[in-house]
Amino acid sequence: MKPLSELKLKVLDLLREDARRDPKLLATLVGSSEQEVAEVIAELEEDHVIVKYATVVNSSKLDDEKVTALIEVQITPERGRGFEAIAERIYLFPQVMSVYLMSGAYDLLVEVEGRNLKEVASFVSDKLSPLESVLSTKTHFILKKYKQDGIIFEDPEEDRRLMISP
């Protein structure tokens, strides 16, 4: 794949900050025409550079909090397909939000979401661990999110120090 043009990179960066920006505002920000920006966005979508527009939700503000876990998975790669086949089997489970191939002590990092701890634990013990290629798992439950996708969830604390004047 060829590298993206400077215009496409600028538009992409601005959409990462706020996907709700309209082409007219984007055109102003990048110094281009609205039509050209609309065409750039269409190309980025068609080429699957932009695959989805999503909303980042601060789940601590909701009554219906879900449990999120990050699971380190060690696997035996499949002959001829490497990590691809097992990664595909894992990401097809509806509880799985993300799957990453990692370097280091484990092979895959799997993000799972459930209604409660028991549901996530059941997924790990009944669905993930029994997979033939899975050698071991280590589950980490997320207790609190401070920042996600570049967005800080906490309101900054007010500076309560006393002012000192000479």
pLDDT (tens digit per residue) in 126-158: 999 999 999 999 999 999 888 888 888 877 667
pLDDT, position 78: 87
Closest CA to 87 of 101, 97, 74: 101
- Tokens 């980042």 belong to which residue? 56
Give the tens place of pLDDT for each residue, 24-36: 999 999 999 999 9
Residue 155, H or E segment = none
* DSSP-H helix ranges across the chain: 6-17, 23-30, 34-46, 84-91, 117-123
At 62, which amino acid appears? L
Q: Residue 50 in contact with residue 12, Cβ under 8 Å? A: yes
Separation of alpha carbons 124 and 139, rounded Å: 8
